[in-house]
Amino acid sequence: MLMRHCASVVVLAACAVLTGCGAPGSYPAIALTDPRLAEFGDMHTIDRGPLGLPPLPATAKVEVERSNGSAYDAMLHIYNTGRSRTIAFRRQNGQLKWIHEQATVDGPRQYTDADGTRTEHITLNYETSRVAHYRLNSLNVSYVGPDENLRTKQDPTLADVKPLLDRWLAPP
């Protein structure tokens, strides 16, 4: 019985890797212009300012996720201190094209809810093709934290959160 179970695990693991569901490629600290990320070069053609998204970091921890049969073909998970970002791509004419980006910026304050103590944060989402079910071709803004004015807003805008973002993203 144990041998049959082990064989099943090996087969499932092989299927996951072969279909792109295995562990992502991971780079602990890499420049986003590094040749190993060249296939994701379309992320550098996006003018983030007018979309309301913060600029890309020069260097970060990057994980590459491949997907089959999903709303996207590949996704980058980008992490640096107090910030995280996901960028989704869909293959079009043999090239990976940017279709979605989510940037999360942590603030300095902590708050407590039913799930424990957390750090306040602002999340900005922009997608041109359905990935995470946000409004297409517009900035989607959310705030989670102790700020009473923002916490109670149904649909915060970039103007609502910009003062906090400017403070949180300012160099020390």
The pLDDT assigned to 6 comes to 40
* Residue among 68, 58, 119, 116 at smallest CA distance from 91: 68
Q: What is the pLDDT along the chain (172 residues), one digit of tens a residue?
A: 444 444 443 333 334 333 344 445 899 999 999 999 999 999 999 999 999 999 999 999 999 999 988 899 999 999 999 999 999 999 999 999 999 999 999 999 999 989 999 999 999 999 999 999 899 999 999 999 999 999 999 999 999 999 999 999 988 7
79 located within any domain = yes
pTM, rounded to two decimals: 0.83
Please report which residue ranges of 118-157 form alpha helices under DSSP H: 148-151
Cα separations (Å) of 37 from 15, 41, 154? 25, 7, 38
The single-letter code of the amino acid at 42 is: D
* Residue among 135, 63, 49, 145 at smallest CA distance from 153: 145
Cβ-proximal residues to 77 (8 Å cutoff; 6+ apart), any chain: 24, 62, 63, 64, 65, 84, 85, 86
The pLDDT assigned to 78 comes to 98
4 located within any domain = no
11 located within any domain = no
Beta strands in the chain (DSSP E): 25-31, 59-66, 74-80, 83-92, 95-113, 116-127, 140-144
1 located within any domain = no
80 located within any domain = yes
12 located within any domain = no
Number of domains within the chain: 1
17 located within any domain = no
68 located within any domain = yes
